Amino acid sequence: MLVNVFTKTTRDRWKGMMIGTAALAVMFFLAMSVYRDIDISVYTDLPEAFLLLMNIPADADVGSLAYGAIYTSYGALTLAALALVTGAASIAGEERNGTLGLLLGNPRSRTNVLLSKAGSMLLLTGLGSLVLWGAGRLTPAILDVNVSGIDVEALVLHMFVNALFYGFLAMAISAWTGSRGLASGAAAVIMVLSFVAVGLLPLIESLENAAKVFPWYYFTGSDPHLNGISWGHLTVLVIGIVLLAVTAVIGVNRRDLKGQTTGVAIVDRLRANPMTQKFADRLAGSARVSRIWIKTASDHQALLLITAALMFFAMGVMIGPMYQAIDSALLSLSDQFPEALMAMFGGGDMSTPEGFYQIETFGMIAPVAVIVVTVAVGARALAGEEANRTMGLLLANPVSRSAVLLEKAFAMVLYALAVGLATFGGVVAGSLLGGLGMDASSIAATSLLATLIGLVFGSLALTLSAATGRVPVAIYGTVGVALVMYLLNAFLPLSDNVAGYAKWSPFYYYLSSDPLNNGMHWGHGALLAGLAIALIGLSVLLFSRRDLRQTG
């Protein structure tokens, strides 16, 4: 029945939403604890341009600083990401798992199934928002921080509607294409581009109004945590949600749905073209299991292409010319902003091209991009085969479990290198277009370290996949660990008493040596590579000893 679609979807997805929002609640508590013990004047004395970029009011106190820096950036991005993952899996996920036919075999229409999925996404996003509202109210009370001027309800309501917009965007793409990777990847690209554009375009006087083109503007443009609910901005987002919902209904009813977990890979398209058939046949080889890595790579090709394009164009090529166009007030930041606090945003001296690229591209976006790709491959490498009931077919061939795992790991490494290479090429091109004169070898070193930090967490996802055979455990477990490690590296240096413990975080070995200025730190690179190899080795051991599931 329709209610069962709603109930099952909610049951399958609630853990991810609760884990993600609970982690954000902890992050908010930690941030407010730190802000309470530092001199807030280091923020209030900053140039107006930078305060606008980081969504910090000029007269910031502990409360407005914590809500502005955490909820309107990390919090909103995470909540929206959780919603869009749910939306992307609404139809395309059922098609990929071969279960959509079972759903539609009941006396329910495609529209009813889609609306049940939409209702579940609405409920889960609402529950996640409720968790964030509770944390937003309880944390200042526990820490005895005065937040009387903060409208928490308005902020969380804007976060909720903003997240639903990207969730329905992913659902519409999913309904029209049947590709979960394309739906989640395209929606994520639009979300990140919107976030970056709304933060940067107002710094360029001639492009200030262009920020209104991007959906993110209607979330943060009115500063809801300071000014209350903006019904006009919410109306824009709600209209967008309704249009996307209608688009999804039209798409799912017009398209021929896939009844099994197969699709057309890039290699198959190349084979169909006489001009590239010989090359594709040589690339693909025979259908033997020894080519597992090619199939694994093909399964995630849409995510790779979208992520690589984002890093090359948006976070690489465009940043160079943008740096030259930004208000010169930013050039005075390095003497006014403490180095320890800059670590929260990746560190770097914004008066230099290297520092600007470190904050905008390498500090958070580049490692997240590689982690998204490697975790997607690593989590589904083994657990995905078990969930799809195809592991038995693989292992029925004359190939060992360890060989299967290593070929999956090889595909993951190739994907990480592809994103790292796209990042390197984009930043080099941006430097040339902007006339910034950045050192190519240092860009290569930083891109390589971003690749290695991504491989560490991708290998962790592979290990959890091998140990449990469950995709959600591998994904959410890895994301949770990555978030904690990022927070440790960002916040521990703020206190001299615990700063040394930041070295327990893999992120410390990513940018602490300032590779964009100093080049490669081979010791840090070797440590990250060794950690990734050790995790892959552990996954081989765990996978070899575990009884495999033969049901989804």
Torsion over CA of 89, 87, 155 and 366, rounded to 10 degrees?
60
pLDDT on residue 324: 75
* Cα-based torsion angle of the residue sequence 185, 192, 26, 34 in order, rounded to the nearest 10 degrees: 150
Q: Specify the pLDDT at position 290.
A: 46
Going by C-beta distance under 8 Å and a sequence separation of 6 or more, which residues neighbour residue 389?
A: 550, 551, 552
CB 215 within 8 A of CB 237: yes
Q: Which of 64, 56, 57, 62 is nearest to 40 (CA)?
A: 62
Query: What does residue 316 show for φ and ψ, rounded to 5 degrees?
Result: -120, -75
Residue 61 CB contacts under 8 Å (≥ 6 apart), including other chains: 40, 146, 149
CB count in 10 Å sphere of residue 323? 22
Q: How far is residue 500 from each of residues 308, 427, 452, 493, 496, measured CA to CA in Å?
A: 34, 32, 22, 7, 8
Distance CA 522, CA 232 (A): 53
Collapsing DSSP to helix, strand or coil, 343 comes out as helix
Contact 319, 357 (CB under 8 A): yes
Q: Please answer whether residues 167 and 86 qualify as being in contact, where contact means their C-beta atoms are separated by less than 8 angstroms.
A: yes
Number of neighbouring beta carbons within 10 Å of residue 137: 14
Judge whether 177 and 264 are in contact, CB under 8 Å: no
Q: How many CB atoms lie within 10 A of CB 4?
A: 12
Contact 210, 194 (CB under 8 A): no
Structure tokens at 54: 């980081």
| 165-to-217, 307, 369 alpha-carbon distances in Å | 12, 20, 22
**pLDDT value for 1:** 41
State the Rg of the chain over Cα: 23
For each of the chain's 552 residues, which pLDDT tens digit applies? Answer: 444 778 878 887 787 788 778 878 887 887 777 666 655 555 555 555 555 555 565 555 666 777 877 788 778 888 888 898 888 888 766 766 666 665 665 656 788 888 989 999 999 999 999 999 999 999 888 888 887 778 899 999 999 999 999 999 999 998 888 877 788 878 888 888 888 788 777 767 777 788 899 999 999 888 898 889 999 999 999 999 999 999 999 988 887 665 544 445 555 555 566 666 665 555 444 444 447 777 777 777 767 877 888 788 878 888 888 777 665 545 454 455 555 455 555 666 677 888 888 888 898 889 988 998 999 899 888 877 777 677 766 676 677 888 889 989 999 999 999 999 999 999 999 999 888 999 999 999 999 999 999 999 999 999 999 998 888 888 888 988 998 888 788 777 766 777 788 899 999 999 889 899 999 999 999 999 999 999 999 999 998 887 765 544
Q: Check if the beta carbon of residue 172 is closer than 8 Å to that of residue 66.
A: no
CA distances 349 to 197, 201, 342, 493, 521, Å, are 21, 20, 9, 17, 19
What angle in degrees, to the nearest 10, is found between the helix axes of 301-309 and 401-434? 20
Which residues have a Cβ under 8 Å from the Cβ of 230 and sit 6 or more positions away?
Answer: 158, 218, 221, 222, 224
CA distance 446 to 286: 38
Quote the pLDDT of residue 260: 47
Rounded Cα–Cα distance for residues 130 and 34 (Å): 24
The residue type of 446 is T
Q: Please answer whether residues 304 and 188 qualify as being in contact, where contact means their C-beta atoms are separated by less than 8 angstroms.
A: no
Per-residue tokens: 317 = 């090529």
- Residue 304 contacts by C-beta under 8 Å, 6 or more apart in sequence? 297, 373, 415, 418, 419
For every residue of 227-256, which 3-state class applies, written as one string?
HCCCHHHHHHHHHHHHHHHHHHHHHHHHCC
Compute how many other C-beta atoms are within 10 angstroms of the C-beta atom of residue 435: 11
The DSSP symbol for 389 reads T
What's the CA gap between 414 and 244, in Å, rounded?
Answer: 35
pLDDT at 107: 57
C-beta of residue 299 within 8 angstroms of C-beta of residue 380: yes
DSSP 432-478: HHHT----HHHHHHHHHHHHHHHHHHHHHHHHHHHHH--HHHHHHHH
Largest CA distance in the chain: 71
